[in-house]
Structure 1
């Protein structure tokens, strides 16, 4: 039983929405960031990068205090407005090759604790605690957790009806995406959506594992510090963006490795022969076509590596995952990479030009060998989460990537 909650969002004034909503801070180059902060006074980046106003780099408690100050200034100047009634927010993103439509809502910390909201990645305690401190000091959350749910005809019908109404915002951004947002304020619609989601057994985290875990830490600490705790306080929920499984788009990460761990090319290929049938493809670009097939680029040539299934034994959902197979058959035993997060010899690539970039990096001599695979499927993601397992780092690159500041959840 999944619980979703309508909330009174803080969101951009109607004429400011195209200028305020921003990509994730890490997505910008230094040059882009400086240009936006210099020429766009309405960008949400001013809130999360408050030192720009003072031409000073700030960190720690000073930064958090200034983030809170900038946020309050945006409210006072009516760049941001506070909704007066609890709502759901329907948000659609349309690109040339991608479209999705989902709900901004509050989701339950208890559902996360009780595994109604399921995860497939490990989190790092230090990062969890950092964001929990951030939430405590700034008292808002502007970056939703991306959750997915099984396609549901009734939810689809309600969403379809809302999309026929006039939107609150519709604007385009420089990445040629169109953004449309509707507010869902009718009690009938809110009740129907809550009722339908209450029939769903599980929601799955697609992106935002650390934000979810941090929200739980923040909620637990807030509960302990509140003698009058009722369970209805805002801190008992965290903001999420819910979309159906059919609208999630999963891309693969390639693996690039700097050396062959002391092996010659010939020795390395002989080692691979234990678990793989190897077919040399030459210098023509080769991408794998199916599960348990890998592309490899080495010394100017592509190779197809086909897993020998009679040799490699599947024991659970994780063992069937291509990123795990690559780790257990090549990266760890042959190339000596045991820590996929910290080892400096490995790098991960993603994106539309993934295979071209991999080849280019190796041709330049920055890396010696690269591996590609087909993307993880939504079924594999769910199987891993249902089994209580976790994927290796950088197993999935998932769209949509949600802009910050379109809806803000106050804590």
Structure 2
């Protein structure tokens, strides 16, 4: 791996790498081999759909199916080796940074994919904002260790000056030429990829990014995994870097969505009964459509903490205005006010831990990105879907700069990069 720009700095250090990309002649279509990030493919039907889309769909690497964890990871490594041997995946001839564009209607997002030099949290270069689950890190680390590859990029954001200068100028000039890859996935997003190999362009990017810090928008567990694997490989080398997509949100703002909770073993009637007048409860009219219910939640959340509950009864129950004395008893007082008033904080500290007394395990709580999916699963399983209102990006960034992590799965930034467009082999640097 060849470095461009300063070898050391106080900001971001993004290096080119020899990407692994699908040979379009060896697969049914580029769209058919892509996948959402591994943690978005939450339902078996989604996994089966992706596996059947093309025998070389990337989900066979990021979510391999076998009887044991060890067998899954070995299967992914064997599959990756086979695809490389067969020419399904091929390495680029030279290291590159990649401009990645996603477009759907009026939404346009552009950023840079590269190998980011890893930094310790104390250095403040890359800011996490959510807690992580150790068992997920163990699984992702074993997968990366066995495959010796970064199979999908994290999504990181930074705040430029909002104008087409520095890295952004290089990005926008690059998009004027023909891409090396273009496809449209079934969700309606078009994806285009360009390779940057010109040393002068790389130097401009390096000089610009050296002045910035980044916020992890999506991929906290993969970032923690990168750091774990770097500790295992202390000598300078490819394990000191991790695959990321870096987006300037001053130029290309991301969408911020909520991640909902599915309480598998708590019927909605029991959830409401346990509130015992410590929240205001308003049951919306029967037949209220989901968009209207989410609008009502947005209005309530603008005034304070609010949640929308639904389950097998098919009704939406809006709960808000929690008892201040209850919040004072149940929420830790040694955190910033912005953290103590987060909906996710109130949900976990006050509702899940104190009133509902639900263990925070995968058997009891599922984290669902898609609102309709959360509602449907709660109805079919007889549990309770807790629908959330999204947090503003400024709140997330401010808390991260203070070194304060939010409850895990508090936010969902997007659009997320499609997995499978470009991979990074640690064997290639």
* TM bucket normalised to smaller: 0.7 to 0.9
Give the equivalent residue in structure 1 for 2:36.
23
Residues 322 and 373 in structure 1, CA contact (< 8 A), matched pair in contact too = yes
1:148-198 per-position Cα deviation (integer Å, ceiling 9, x unaligned): 111342232221111111111111122222111111111111111111000
Give the equivalent residue in structure 1 for 2:342.
321
Q: TM-score, normalised by structure 1?
A: 0.81
Shift of 1:28: 7.3
The counterpart of 2:195, out of the listed 166, 177, 183, is 183
Q: TM-score, normalised by structure 2?
A: 0.78
Q: Which runs of 5+ in 2 are unaligned?
A: 1-10
Indicate the SS of the match to 1:247: coil
1:376 aligns with 2:391: yes
Q: What are the within-5 Å matches in structure 2 for residues 111-260 of structure 1?
A: 112=121, 114-152=123-161, 153=163, 154=165, 155-200=167-212, 202-223=213-234, 229=235, 231=236, 233-245=237-249, 246-255=252-261, 258-259=266-267
- Partners in 1 of 2:72 and 2:326 — Cα distance? 54
Shift of 1:409: 1.2
Shift of 1:352: 5.0
Shift of 1:307: 5.6
- Partners in 1 of 2:402 and 2:390 — Cα distance? 20
Q: Note closer, same or farther for the CA distance 1:324–1:185 as it changes in structure 2 (3 Å cut).
A: same
Give the equivalent residue in structure 1 for 2:421.
406
Give the equivalent residue in structure 1 for 2:372.
353
Shift of 1:31: 5.6
Shift of 1:361: 6.4
- Partners in 2 of 1:395 and 1:385 — Cα distance? 13
The counterpart of 1:271, out of the listed 278, 290, 305, is 278
- Partners in 1 of 2:170 and 2:233 — Cα distance? 35
Q: CA RMSD in A?
A: 3.4
Residues 260 and 367 in structure 2, CA contact (< 8 A), matched pair in contact too = yes
Give the equivalent residue in structure 2 for 1:43.
57
Residues 293 and 373 in structure 1, CA contact (< 8 A), matched pair in contact too = no
Residues 102 and 190 in structure 2, CA contact (< 8 A), matched pair in contact too = yes
Give the equivalent residue in structure 1 for 2:405.
390
Indicate the SS of the match to 2:406: coil
1:91-146 per-position Cα deviation (integer Å, ceiling 9, x unaligned): 11123474321111111123556231111122233332332232222111111111
Q: Note closer, same or farther for the CA distance 1:11–1:334 as it changes in structure 2 (3 Å cut).
A: same
Q: Note closer, same or farther for the CA distance 1:324–1:366 as it changes in structure 2 (3 Å cut).
A: same
1:4-25 per-position Cα deviation (integer Å, ceiling 9, x unaligned): 1111111122444344333345
- Partners in 1 of 2:285 and 2:132 — Cα distance? 40
Shift of 1:329: 4.2
Give the equivalent residue in structure 2 for 1:6.
16
Count of matched residue positions in the alignment of Structure 1 and Structure 2? 387
Q: Note closer, same or farther for the CA distance 1:146–1:35 as it changes in structure 2 (3 Å cut).
A: closer
Residues 297 and 318 in structure 2, CA contact (< 8 A), matched pair in contact too = no
1:89 aligns with 2:98: yes
The counterpart of 2:81, out of the listed 69, 72, 92, is 72
Residues 146 and 205 in structure 1, CA contact (< 8 A), matched pair in contact too = yes
- Partners in 2 of 1:331 and 1:41 — Cα distance? 41
- Partners in 2 of 1:72 and 1:157 — Cα distance? 38
Q: Note closer, same or farther for the CA distance 1:238–1:197 as it changes in structure 2 (3 Å cut).
A: same
Residues 260 and 268 in structure 1, CA contact (< 8 A), matched pair in contact too = no
